[in-house]
A and B are shown apart, each in its own frame.
Chain A
Amino acid sequence: MMKNYCSSIIAIFRRMDPAYDSLFSALYLTVPPLLAGFYSLYSLKPFSIDFVLLAAFMFLGIQTFSSYKDKLTYISVFLLLVALFQFIVNIFIAHPTVIIVCVFLIALPILAVDKIRSACLLALTQLALFLNGSWGWYDALNGIIEVVVMGIMVISCMMLFEYSFSKTRMRAHLLYLIELLADAFNIMIFPDKKTAETYLVNKHLLAIPLNYRADFLVEHLFSSKQHIFLHRLFTQLTKANRLIVNEDYYFQKNIAYRNRACLAYFQCRKLFREITFLTVYLNNEAEIQKLLPNTKALMSNINGSFKIIYKAIRTQESIEATLSDTITNQWLVDCEKLKKLCTATLDKEILEFIYGIKCLITDIRKFEEILKNHGDVRHE
């Protein structure tokens, strides 16, 4: 009973956040301020609100960068500005005009540079908090030490998170990608919405109330479910590309895992392109069935193979042959016969469908090979 409740709750959260992106982002935003809080308590240093928020702002800022170089540059610029503002506010707190002139002269040239504008804006937010604080040389120096300690803490947390969670994140993205591919394939081949949904692994990504996301907004512009799914896949591929292909990893184990995950990711990208050819299936279903009677059997076979690939990456089970040789070979033989018989009457859409399925068969088999040879994608 308890287990059922737990799995239902997990299922709801998975629908809201399928690749655990929000979960990890929230965790990244919670741990450094929490550590800062503990540091304040146990170092017997007076608790400082700026100290806690500084970490949160820094983590919000570095989320947009992929490379370590950019992240470290961002942190350095941010800390430098915060330290400078802290110094100015603490020393000139009794002379507001001096503070205003100094802030204006410092902020004006820095805000004009695209790359460091956001760091400067967050530093200005921090400056506003300093206006509420105490003043004097001692506090200025103390504040700068706080800023340096916080910088070290944030960089350590960044490394720690990379070491602990990168593999899990990459794997979650891959799994969600395969789920979406399976869903998109089902949407392309099942005419009835209900039938389609019984086959869906992931059902739909839950758009909870108060939602304000660009991908959902653009999705509403498309009339067909097929295009909605293709767009959803496009969005997920972009996110996975950032995390698996573009992200800079420092630790060797993550780099090695990334190299293996890349193979699976590129294969997913190929499958996505092939699924695009299947958008024409529902319009020509009867005709295709008449020309190639084994098509339905092949479709359920391909559908099953998506599930096997998903399971193989998720668990540590060794992968079996995903596609049945008998069914696929029979279908390919039928295609060859068709080629010789009646090409004159064949519609362009049917040709597209046949080509798409042929490529899909080839690439699913390649995927199988990748999982057999580079099976470590599944592990850890």
Chain B
Amino acid sequence: MAMYAMNSLEKVVTKNWQMSFCISVAFCVAIFFDYVSNIAFGYWIPMTVAIILSAVSQGQGAIIRNALARVSGTFFGVTLGFLYANIFMTSSYLWMYSLPFIWFIGYYFYFITNNYIIYATMIALFVPILDAISDNAFLLEYGLQSTYFTRLGFTIIGAFIAVSAIYIIHRNSFSAQPMMKAHTENIFKMQAEIIRLISKCFFDAEFSDKDLLKTIESHIFSITLIENIYLNIGYELDQNEDKELFYQCLFRFIEKLLSCSRKLLCIINHDQYSGIISNCDELKQVFAKLADKYNNIDEYFAGKTDNSSGKIAAILEKINPKDKFAPEYLFIETAREMSLLLDNMAYDVYNKYANSHTKCNTS
């Protein structure tokens, strides 16, 4: 176990150094280009590289998306800036006071939509305007030469440097697939822990509010994170339709799993094991087995099967109809639902998405 932890830690450290090396090289190359070109606004190249690579924590897909958005955003930004400076700012300096309002509206829509093009547009619009105000040289800053030919050109060069760097230098260290895999694993590990804690609380009345809350928070954090990774993963180089279908299936599965967890949490909030349905030890074993199943979900994805769902169904059949109003019945029913869900997902992964899952694992 300690060896495994050491290995994964080493991998993370190596990956971070590879990433860091790639970004540093890309940025230094951009500064070099700035000096070599020796044209005004050459700083636009390293600025573009740094802004595009700031999406590094979200993976390769986010960097490619940012690069595309940055180029189109710069086009819109310099066009708007050109019009603004040549129509309004030359007529009266009072128009300058509208700038904070434009800034506010632009970023408001950026935060609503999370569309990077708007962010890039705002930067491309404001950096030259502020530059122009500070140098008192509007028309020089906003001539056609300084907008379309230099700024837009330099943005394209910057985007090219950033994207080339992530393709050429340690390409795998930027892939979001391992991150997706690690957090998906964490989701199932936390799910197993939630089941274990819920069962402890229901049958033994041992309730550690802090532990449960901490586990739920970690569970939710990983789910939110994989949703954000999924947003950009489509832009990655080795993404294909199989993988896309696998992720879609995964999100539907997680949603159903969350519904079941909510039901169990609701039951422990209101009730405890009352003893109406006898054989507490057998029921505890059922939940321990279910937690185990989620803990070792990889084995089930690789084709392992068991009869735990059938065993839970057998327990349910034995329950006296008049006891079905007891919360225990719903508690066990939900456990069966969770077990069946995993069986179905494992079947799908093994038979339909086997290739994409293996690729996800190996990457």
Q: Given the complex of chains A and B, what is the CA–CA distance between A82 and B107 in angstroms?
A: 24
Pairwise interchain contact B103-A33, C-beta atoms closer than 8 A: yes
Residue B202 at the chain A interface, CB threshold 8 Å? no
Residue B41 at the chain A interface, CB threshold 8 Å? yes
Q: Given the complex of chains A and B, what is the CA–CA distance between A113 and B20 in angstroms?
A: 9
Interface residues on B, range: 35 or more
Pairwise interchain contact A34-B100, C-beta atoms closer than 8 A: yes
What distance in Å separates the Cβ of B23 from its nearest Cβ neighbour in chain A?
A: 5
Residue A125 at the chain B interface, CB threshold 8 Å? yes
Q: Given the complex of chains A and B, what is the CA–CA distance between A214 and B329 in angstroms?
A: 37
Pairwise interchain contact A210-B115, C-beta atoms closer than 8 A: yes
User: Could you mark each residue 42-59 of chain A with 1 if its beta carbon is under 8 Å from any beta carbon of chain B, else 0?
Assistant: 000011110011000000
Residue of B nearest to A246 (CB): B217
Residue B280 at the chain A interface, CB threshold 8 Å? no
User: Which residues of the partner chain B approach A356 to less than 8 Å between Cβ atoms?
Assistant: 266
Pairwise interchain contact A23-B108, C-beta atoms closer than 8 A: yes
Q: For window 121-180 of chain A, which residues contact chain B by CB distance below 8 Å?
A: 121-122, 124-125, 127-129, 131-132
What distance in Å separates the Cβ of B135 from its nearest Cβ neighbour in chain A?
A: 9
What distance in Å separates the Cβ of A16 from its nearest Cβ neighbour in chain B?
A: 5
A127 in complex: contacting residue of B46, B224, B230, CB < 8 Å: B46
Q: Given the complex of chains A and B, what is the CA–CA distance between A362 and B270 in angstroms?
A: 9
Pairwise interchain contact B19-A214, C-beta atoms closer than 8 A: no
Q: Given the complex of chains A and B, what is the CA–CA distance between A129 and B128 in angstroms?
A: 11
Residue A255 at the chain B interface, CB threshold 8 Å? no
User: Which residues of the partner chain B approach A348 to less than 8 Å between Cβ atoms?
Assistant: 330, 333
With most chain A CB atoms within 10 A of its CB, the pick from B20, B116, B117 is B20
Pairwise interchain contact B24-A118, C-beta atoms closer than 8 A: no
Q: How many A-B residue pairs have CB under 8 A?
A: 213
Q: Given the complex of chains A and B, what is the CA–CA distance between A48 and B30 in angstroms?
A: 23
Q: Given the complex of chains A and B, what is the CA–CA distance between A211 and B252 in angstroms?
A: 22
Pairwise interchain contact B251-A221, C-beta atoms closer than 8 A: yes
Supposing A29-B107, A131-B31, A131-B34 touch, asked if A273 and B43 sit within 8 A by C-beta, the answer is no
Residue B7 at the chain A interface, CB threshold 8 Å? no
In the complex, identify which listed stretch (B48-56, B84-92, B145-153, B349-357) lies at the interface while the others stay far away: B48-56
Interface residues on A, range: 35 or more
User: Which residues of the partner chain A approach B200 to less than 8 Å between Cβ atoms?
Assistant: none
User: Which residues of the partner chain A approach B103 to less than 8 Å between Cβ atoms?
Assistant: 29-30, 33
Residue B314 at the chain A interface, CB threshold 8 Å? no
User: Which residues of the partner chain B approach A238 to less than 8 Å between Cβ atoms?
Assistant: 220, 224
B20 in complex: contacting residue of A16, A111, A125, CB < 8 Å: A111
Q: Given the complex of chains A and B, what is the CA–CA distance between A83 and B251 in angstroms?
A: 45
User: Could you mark each residue 260-293 of chain A with 1 if its beta carbon is under 8 Å from any beta carbon of chain B, else 0?
Assistant: 0000000000101110110100000000000000
User: Which residues of the partner chain B approach A65 to less than 8 Å between Cβ atoms?
Assistant: none
Q: Given the complex of chains A and B, what is the CA–CA distance between A356 and B330 in angstroms?
A: 11
Q: Given the complex of chains A and B, what is the CA–CA distance between A5 and B19 in angstroms?
A: 52
What distance in Å separates the Cβ of A115 from its nearest Cβ neighbour in chain B?
A: 11
Q: Given the complex of chains A and B, what is the CA–CA distance between A30 and B106 in angstroms?
A: 10
What distance in Å separates the Cβ of A366 from its nearest Cβ neighbour in chain B?
A: 11
Pairwise interchain contact B21-A108, C-beta atoms closer than 8 A: yes
Residue of A nearest to B258 (CB): A234
Pairwise interchain contact B324-A351, C-beta atoms closer than 8 A: yes
Supposing A222-B255, A344-B321 touch, asked if A359 and B46 sit within 8 A by C-beta, the answer is no
User: Which residues of the partner chain B approach A69 to less than 8 Å between Cβ atoms?
Assistant: none
Residues of A at under 8 Å CB distance from B? Answer: 16-17, 21-23, 25-27, 29-30, 33-34, 37, 46-49, 52-53, 96, 99-100, 103-104, 107-114, 117-118, 121-122, 124-125, 127-129, 131-132, 208, 210-215, 217-218, 221-222, 227, 230-231, 234-235, 238, 241, 270, 272-274, 276-277, 279, 339, 343-344, 346, 348, 351-352, 354-356, 359, 362
Residues of B at under 8 Å CB distance from A? Answer: 13, 16-17, 19-21, 23-25, 27-28, 30-32, 34-35, 41-47, 49-51, 53-54, 56-57, 100, 103-105, 107-118, 126-127, 130-131, 133-134, 217, 220, 224, 227-228, 230-231, 248, 251-252, 255, 258-259, 262-263, 265-267, 269-270, 321-322, 324-325, 327, 329-330, 333
7 further contact pairs, Cβ within 8 A, besides A48-B134, A108-B20, A129-B47:
A111-B24, A131-B42, A131-B46, A217-B227, A274-B266, A343-B324, A354-B325
Interface pairs (30), CB distance under 8 Å: A22-B108, A22-B111, A30-B107, A49-B127, A96-B35, A99-B31, A100-B32, A104-B28, A111-B23, A112-B16, A121-B56, A128-B31, A131-B34, A131-B42, A210-B118, A212-B231, A213-B114, A214-B227, A214-B231, A217-B227, A221-B248, A276-B262, A277-B266, A339-B322, A343-B322, A343-B325, A348-B333, A352-B333, A356-B266, A359-B270
